[in-house]
Structure formats: structure tokens, C-alpha cells
Amino acid sequence: MANLLRDKSTGMHPGRRLSKSKASRVARPVTPLRVLVIGAGVGGIAVARGLLQDGHDVTVFERMPEVRTGGGAVTIWSNGATVLRQLGVDMDGAGEQLSTVRVVTSGGRPIATIDVTAISATLGAPTRMVPRRVLLERLLAGFPTDRIQCGSPAVRVLETPEGARVEFADGSAVDGDLVIGADGRHSMVREMFGAQAAEPTGWCSWQGLISLPEVADNHDATIIIGEHGNLGLWPAGGSQLQWWFDLPWSTDFVRPDRPIEMVRAQFSGWSEATDRVLATLTDADLDLSPFPHYRHPIPREWGQGPFTLLGDAAHTIPPTLAQGTNQALLDAMILRRALTSAEDLSRALRGYEKMRRRKVAIVSWLTSLQVSHAESALRPAALIPDRFMTWILATFLRAISHRDHLAGFAPA
């Protein structure tokens, strides 16, 4: 990884000494750290919320004039839900709590019905489909808004004798002890490390949220897999339905004049609910689509000195396993933990990155696997009992969740 820009007068950052407070349930540094978070997405706000709770002096810088609450719904699996609980985020009634995920082929052959209620019971927290807007509102409830400085695009980070500096587009700068780059897929902080950019996977999603009570009013999510594409219809609370249609995509993609016609041509007849959704959608619903899928090569290190990355900035993954937001929340939890239990700041950050890299690499690799398959290729999967499929997913979620740390934090 290339060296970050350094203040000319410095050599290596010596690392800040932290000490543990035995009185608190989570050890806290005696001196609060001045933490500079770049990016007010789910990851940036989550880590800021946790570090504020731990007594640090945290400021979040967002390039947009306000926190962006747009987007469709995101899946909060039990692992993400547990982190939100630790952060004291009230998720009661948010979005839709899921009971099952039903996977079928485009020809209507059942492949699996995964018992999400059982998974949630095993892992001790519900699984929800939550509009991103609702998730951000819940994360921001009780959050001191003066800690978020919107309209502050960060353009450069550098190391100083005292720690770290962030420079902004208007020529201003701010100093702190550490910088967390939570600035999303096209992270400026990541770029300054010289880490590889995200690469397109060859697929994209046409997706969004619509109000369609006759399809959305239940707890069951559906995935339909075809040979040249796949789709999802997931209830997201009340009458809201998150829909997506995944199709191949390349950089020379030319957007059709009537995208809804193209999507209808690919997916009509896949199920009754699909046809209802396709009949309801218009070209306007596809205005923001398609969203090409990207995947970052996971670097060996995603930080240096007083700098680290979090969420999509560190590990953009395709939406295949619906793990993006959950992985950002897990980053926030492990980084918080690392900063409260380590003796040396730089070492604490490298420890966080190492711990997260192993888990994220597994998730990232799995999301690189092809979803779409011909009916014949899916036949063997249909022979696997649903209970075993449910067990596989629960085991996977448990394996990527840092269960020992999930249990270690006192609820906020």
C-alpha cells in the first residue's frame, strides 16, 4: 500500500497511548480521542454513535448538503440487528420483520424455503427489511446533530506530528487523532492509500421501493432465479415492497429508451406477484437504475498510521447476500472495540482491520459467485432439505458475525 501524504516535519506517527478504565463495562481510554469520520452514511453514523457513547470527541464530515436518506430498503440480518441494539438504536416497528425467504426458479420450481424466524431465534435478533431512510432516521434519533458537518467534501488526508489532518474542498482543514474513511465505494481515503478501486462484476440491479399492499403485506421474501437474470420481491414495511431485477451489465451498456419494456420482456410470467409488480412499475420508477454491482479487492491492510477505512470504503460488495449494511455495522462494532481495549492507536487500528478482513473476505468471495442458473443446474439444490438450507444460512451468519464480540458489549 502506498504511503499516505505526511506532514513534512514528521516521521512515523508514534501511536497514541490508551489506557483502560476498569470501572466501565467496556474499557475506555482516559483521554478521549479526537475522531474524524469522513462520510455520513450508515457506517459513518453508526461508528460515530458508538464512539460518542464511549466518550470520544467525534465529528462526521459529509460532502452533501444534508445526510442522504435516499435509496431502497436494506436487509438487516440478525448480525446487523445486534450491533444496532448495542448502539441503543430502537428498531421496533421499523420496516418489515421477515419470517421466510422463498427461493424458486423462473419456471416455478421450489428450490428452498428458508426459515428466517428460526435463524433469528438462533442468533438472538430479528431480521428486517428496512427502507434506508428509516434506518438512518433511527440511527440519528438522539444523535447530537452538531456532530455532523454537512456540505464538507474532504479532499485530502495527511499525517501530522500530533495525529491526522483532513483537508476540505474550501481550503479549510481540521486536526484529530485518527481519521475513519467511511466515504463509500469511491472512497477518497482509500484512494490515498493506493488501494485498488472497486471493479464491476458484470451485473446490475434495476431496483426500488413501491407501495403495493397486495404483494407487500406479509413477512415472506421471494427470490426467483432464471438462466439470464434473477429478481427479488421483499416486503419492507406497511405497503412498501423492495423489488429488484438483476441483469448482466457492462461498461458499454446503453440505457434503453423504455427500460420498463426491457425489464418486462425479461421477467414477465415468472410469477403472479412479479407480473403485478411489472404492471405497476413505470419508466419513472427506473429513473435511478440500473445500479451496477461492484466489488473491491479486499486489501491486506486497509489503513496506515492514524487512518483506517470502514464499510463500503473498505469492502464494497455486490448486493447478492444483502450483507453490505450489516458488514458496515460489524466494522463499526469491531473498530469501537479495538479503540477501547488497545494500548496503541495505530496497533488498535491494524488489529481492527485484521479481524474484519478475514470475515469480510469470505462474504466478498461468496458474493462473487454467480446467482443466475438454468433450471436444470438448480435441480440438485432443490433436493437439499429446507431445514438444512436454514442451518447453512444460520451457520454462515454466525461464522461472519464476531459472536464473541457481539456478546461482549453492554447495551447502550
Ligand X SMILES: Cc1cc2nc3c(=O)[nH]c(=O)nc-3n(C[C@H](O)[C@H](O)[C@H](O)COP(=O)(O)OP(=O)(O)OC[C@H]3O[C@@H](n4cnc5c(N)ncnc54)[C@H](O)[C@@H]3O)c2cc1C
* Of residues 349 and 378, the one with the C-beta less far from ligand X: 349
Nearer to ligand X, 74 or 195 (CB): 74
In the bound state with ligand X, the residue whose beta carbon lies nearer, of 74 and 263, is 74
CA distance 68 to 140: 12
Nearest approach, Cβ of residue 205 and ligand X (Å): 8
Q: Minimal distance in Å, beta carbon 20 to ligand X?
A: 29
Minimum CB separation of residue 148 from ligand X in Å reads 10
| Alpha carbons 269 and 87: distance in angstroms, whole number | 44
Instruction: Tell me the HSE value of 297 on the side-chain side, using a 13 A CA sphere.
Output: 9
| Per-residue H/E/C for 244-285 | EEEEECCCCCCCCCCHHHHHHHHHCCCCHHHHHHHHHCCHHH
Contacting residues toward ligand X, per CB under 6 A? 38-44, 61-64, 68, 70-72, 74, 132, 153-154, 182-184, 188, 311-313, 319, 324-325, 328
- Smaller CB distance to ligand X: residue 313 or 342? 313
Measured from the CB atom, the residue of 64 and 121 that comes closer to ligand X is 64
Nearest-5° Cα angle at 182, 178 to 186? 125
C-alpha to C-alpha distances, 328 to 10, 79, 128, 137, nearest whole angstrom: 32, 11, 16, 17
Which lies closer to ligand X via its Cβ, residue 68 or residue 276?
A: 68
Q: Which residues pair with 200 in a beta bridge?
A: 294
Q: Residue 175 CB, nearest distance to ligand X (Å)?
A: 17
Contacts of 300 (CB under 8 A, 6+ apart): 1, 357
Smallest distance from the beta carbon of 308 to ligand X, in angstroms? Answer: 13
If the CB atoms of residues 145 and 268 are measured against ligand X, the closer one turns out to be 145
Pairing verdict, β 148-149 and 57-61 = parallel
Cβ at position 45, least distance to ligand X in Å: 8
Q: Collapse the DSSP code of 232 into the 3-class scheme (helix H, G, I; strand E, B; otherwise coil) and give the result.
A: strand
Whose cell is 482516559? That residue is: 30
Grid coordinates standing for 86? 448495542
What is d(CA 229, CA 212) in angstroms, rounded to the nearest whole number? 23
- Which of helix, strand or coil describes residue 299? coil
Task: Write down the least CB distance from residue 146 to ligand X, Å.
Answer: 17
Question: Residue 212 and residue 325: Cα distance in Å, rounded?
Answer: 25
Looking at the Cβ atoms of 39 and 351, the one nearer to ligand X is 39
Judge contact between 150 and 103, C-beta under 8 A: no
We find the least distance from the C-beta atom of residue 374 to ligand X, in angstroms, to be 27
Minimum CB distance to ligand X, residue 293 (Å): 11
* Cell representation of residue 340: 477501547
Of the pair 184, 237, the CB lying nearest ligand X is at 184
d(CA 86, CA 88): 5
